Amino acid sequence: MNTLENKQLVQDIFANLAQGNPKPLFDSMAEDFRWTVSGNTKWSRTYNGKQVVLKELLGPLHDMIVDKVRTNAQRFIAEGEHVVVEARGSNQTKTGAAYNNTYCFVIRLDEGKLREITEYMDTELVTAVLGDPRGHVN
């Protein structure tokens, strides 16, 4: 896929994430997909493999959020196999805390599949609001 096709795929994924629909994200992940959460929080590490990402990262996050996790993209920058997305969450935890983090996602695609995401965000907010995901693993 070329730069424009990669950008369009990521734009479609984020249009769905803004509505709380993660299915296009899940469907676009390669089986060997890797997601790196930056920083030094309890969530920060590299999650290797689609099933690990779903179970150890996205599952615990979903369990903490009221209704559906929503992420609204504000800007897309694409070059070759990389698409960079600036985004903001619009979420509330089940404990009543707002979780509206600001993100920069660096996404690498290959042959129409997401291969890797590196996530940068407000790590202080992650620690203050989300705490430790290990207590929330499905």
Q: What are phi and psi of 89, to 5 degrees?
A: -80, 155
Q: Out of 79-88, 113-122, 124-133, pick the least confident.
A: 124-133
Give the amino acid at 56.
Answer: E
Pairing of strands 82-89, 71-79: antiparallel
Structure tokens at 62: 């979903």
Query: What's the average model confidence in pLDDT over 8-16?
Result: 98
CATH number belonging to domain 3-130: 3.10.450.50
Burial 114-131 (b: 16+ CB within 10 A, else e): bebbbbebebebbbebbb
Q: What is the pTM of this model?
A: 0.93
Query: Can you name the residues that pair with 88 across neighbouring β-strands?
Result: 72, 102
Q: Tell which residue, 117, 67, 75, has the closest CA to residue 92.
A: 67
